Each structure stands twice: as C-alpha cells, then as structure tokens.
Structure 1
C-alpha cells in the first residue's frame, strides 16, 4: 500500500472531512478521493461510506487507519534514523480533565512551544470515560485520565495507559464542623454518617469510592448533591451544605472556611495516566508531548511505581 494514501486515510480519520484533509495537506479533494479509491481496491474492502454530502470511515476504514498510524510512525522513525533526527512537527489533540489543566498541561505547553515549535496542541476537556471514547473514535490523539486505586477503571483493549503519578485524596468540609486535619480514621469518619455528601454527575467511580470508604466505617453515605466544578464543591462545603472528596491538586489554593483532612488508606489515591491508542505511541509529536507532560508531572504528582514508567 502506498504511504501517501495511508497518510490521507489517517488524516481523514483525525480531521473528519475531505475539506479539512485538503487544507491540511494542500492536496485537492478530487485527488484525495482518487487516492482513497485506489487504497480501497488495494485493501479489498470498503473503507468509506457516504454520510449526507460527506463521507465517513467504515469500521474497516477505522481499523486500517489504526494500522496505518503504526506503519507511518515506524517509517518516520526509520527515515529519521537514516537521515539524522529532525524536529517533530504536527498537531496533537490532547484531552484532559480539568484539575490537570493548570498545574500540568499549561506549563507543559509553554515549554513545548519553546522547545518544539513545530508541534501544535489542541486541548479538549473531558472526564476519563468520555476521554477514552474520544481516543478510541479518533477525536483525540493523547489523553490524561485517572482512576481511583480502590475503584480500578476498565480500559478498552485498544488503549494503552502509562502511569505518570498519583495524588492523595482529601475530605473537604466546613471548618465549623471539621473533625481535624490529621489523617482520617474510621472512628472519625463514622461521625459523618448523617452528613450530606457531594459527588460529581459525570461518572459512577466517585460514587463507588465514597460508598466503599464509608462502608469501612459501617455506614452508607447519603449522596445529596452532584457538582462537577471542584471550586463549587469547596464553596458548598464551606457553607455547610455537605462534605466531599477532593484530590490534592484541586484543594490548592485553599478556600477560607473549609478544612481538608487527609483520607490516607481509607480512600487510597488517584492515579494519573497518559492514554492513547496502542498503535499511536510511536508517532513522534505525540511521544514528544507525552514525554514533556511526564517531566512536568514529576514536580507536581507523587511518583509512579518503577514498573509504571513510560
């Protein structure tokens, strides 16, 4: 199969329309269509199907595009090795959850713009479930996702994770009702059996974590509020409307009127991962961005175990 045609297929999966591929490659849409028609004959399967006035990839087209990413990455690596390493260039769509954006992502982008100006990064905000679906569907190239150590996440087989660190979990509550700032014990947690709890509305893992944690203290929590904005969670806690969990990074800076109590082993930790389709890791712009995110994370997160390193 011709590498140019494979590149066009990959770009169509990434960008979604012939017009966008034409703009990105400088090739006319008619020429692109002819190349993809030849690629279909070479593959022996239907790769494209009409969708209104546009076209979209068939399941076979998506699968071939996944293979093509790995093929093109290996060809690029071989060419770079033979000709001498050149600067990486290309657009990487990065999906991240909000509490990583300021302490990890933004410093990374600042450094990347200085060290690798040929790499363009587009940011998308989503929680892990939606981020993994976006990665699988080609709507993003690289993701930052998390899981709670007490509630491991099910990851699709075609996605590979690399852990870059972890952070402890804290109980956020009104300072007027605070049980103290020393690490929480089961006995002190049992004192919150009548409290209203605050959880998010974008996934069930936080609910499960709160239930498992409270079960060790002998009660079932009453989850009354569902708030996705972490700053708003702190505001509600400060006003005495409930208690909730916050990862350490989301608890900084500290809001007046709230107390953050370390939960220790009662809640475990939140593990942070880089995620991408398995065949995409060899693509140099993605790999360069991933390495830069790892460097930033070292100064922000607790280090990963040695066998989790990228």
Structure 2
C-alpha cells in the first residue's frame, strides 16, 4: 500500500523541483527525502523519478501518481476534519498566517473573540507574505491563513489549497488625484516579489508609464511616513489608510484588494478552521 507521507513528498517535489527544496520545506535531510522517494518507487512498482546527475524529474508515472496523491491527501484532510468534529469543540494549537496589515488591523480583536468562544484553542500567529502561504499550508507549517488578491494581479491557483472570500477594500493613492498624475513622481513600493509590488507596477503600466521606484518598504505605516516626508507617492489599501499622518492626502481609486482565508483542501470543515473564519468575518466587515 502506498504511504501517504511519501505521497506528500512526491507532490512537493513536483511543485518545488528539487529534493533540497523539499527537504527544507518538510524539515528533513535531503538524503532522508531521497530514501523516502526511493521507497515509494518500490511500493509503486514503477519508476517515478528520472535522475540525471543531481537533477531529478518525474516520469510520466510519477506525474500520474501526483494527480492521484492530491485526491488521497484531500480525503485524508476531510477525514481528519470529520474526526475532530466528532471529538467536540475546537481545541489545541491553531497556526494562523497573516499579512502584516491584517495582523495589526484584524487579528487582535479576532483572537480575543476566538479565545473567548473557544478557550481550548491556542492560536499561534505568524506574519507571512501571501505569496508564501500555499507552500506553508502544504508543508503543515500553517493551518489557516489570510491572503489577498489585487486587481491587475491574477490569483495564483494551487489545487491543494482552498480559499473563502472575507471582504474587499479600496486602494488609495497618496497626494495625487490619479495614478496617471503620478507619472513623474518617485514611488514608494513594497519589496519586489510581493503581490503588493506587482500590483503597483501594473497599475502604473495600465496608466501608460513605468514607475521610478525610489524606496522598497513592506510596512504600510512606514510607507505613509515616507510619503509624509515627501519621499514619493504610494498605493495603500484601506486597512492601512485609516489614520494617515499629517500632510498626506489620500485619493480613493477604482482599484481593490480582496482578502480571503486559505486552508488545505479538504480541511475547511475542521472545527478550528470554522471557528477562525467565524470570528474573522464580523471583524473584517
């Protein structure tokens, strides 16, 4: 019989591309990952990996098994959630990932409500960029996470992750009436590789220009402080724009950021996940 833990490693190899990356994600040594995958090949009875020097790729049989592995792992998540529901109310650790503005603006009140309603739960929060959430959920580092999507940035799909929408918020531009009017300004943006940075770049491109980025800063409070100091213009979401510093004017744009809650596919009916979603919705509206 195929071992689900080994199937998970095969799925991660298909996504991450190297045994070293899989090992880092699941906190194994590379040799341990290789041994587990070799054992999976013996269980399957067909070659799953093609090794050329240090490069490892999946064979057609390996790709086929990954497709079935996703179904198997999803059903196991559903079974785990169903058993947890039978045991009673949610309890134990609940590992929550969130992007910084949500951590500051939403989670304090949500955690207060969550622990009051379910004192047996132990929420544990980690700040994380939404671009890294899928990998952290698949690796079991998180149970649930808040992520966001922007206009101009298509959502990244992952067959192993489910999402539920929570709310949408408008975007604001500092000190200019429109993005086009900021063509000649310096810009303050989030770090490259983040969804926020990609959204800002594409918003400028949609207005017909390539922005001149002077500062890369991830904290929106700091971004607004830099804008107040005349260091450039920036796009900020409503959650970060509730109390702008003196001297900064904000113009609401026809752009939005949508916040969703994400979890492993099949795990959404776990009592702890439902409890978390229940307190996040009212605090987000």
TM-score (norm: length of structure 2): 0.72
- Residue 148 of structure 1: aligned partner: 150
Give a deviation string over 1:83-139, Cα, whole Å, max 9, x none: xxx322121100000101132111111011111101111100011011222112111
- Residue 115 of structure 2: aligned partner: 113
Written as runs of structure 1 = structure 2, the 5 A alignment for 1:1-310 is 67-77=75-85, 79=86, 86-172=88-174, 178-179=175-176, 184-185=177-178, 189-201=179-191, 203-263=193-253, 265=254, 268-298=255-285
Describe the SS at the equivalent of 1:258: coil
> CA RMSD for the aligned pairs?
3.3
Q: CA deviation at 1:65?
A: 5.8
Tell whether the 8 Å contact from 1:202 to 1:228 is kept in structure 2 after alignment: no
4+ residue runs over 4 A deviation: 62-66
Give a deviation string over 1:256-289, Cα, whole Å, max 9, x none: 12111112x2xx1000000001121121112211
Describe the SS at the equivalent of 2:204: helix
Q: CA deviation at 1:251?
A: 1.4
Q: CA deviation at 1:255?
A: 0.8
C-alpha separation between the residues in 2 aligned to 1:296 and 1:154?
Answer: 26
Give a deviation string over 1:154-200, Cα, whole Å, max 9, x none: 1211111101001110112xxxxx34xxxx44xxx433211111111
TM-score (norm: length of structure 1): 0.66
Change (3 A) 1:109 1:204: closer
Describe the SS at the equivalent of 2:94: strand
C-alpha separation between the residues in 1 aligned to 2:126 and 2:196?
Answer: 22
Residue segments in structure 1 that go unaligned for 5+ positions in a row: 11-15, 18-39, 46-58, 81-85, 173-177, 299-310
C-alpha separation between the residues in 2 aligned to 1:114 and 1:192?
Answer: 47
- Residue 308 of structure 1: aligned partner: none
C-alpha separation between the residues in 2 aligned to 1:205 and 1:113?
Answer: 31
Q: CA deviation at 1:252?
A: 2.2
Tell whether the 8 Å contact from 2:151 to 2:199 is kept in structure 1 after alignment: no
Tell whether the 8 Å contact from 1:91 to 1:285 is kept in structure 2 after alignment: no
Describe the SS at the equivalent of 1:243: coil
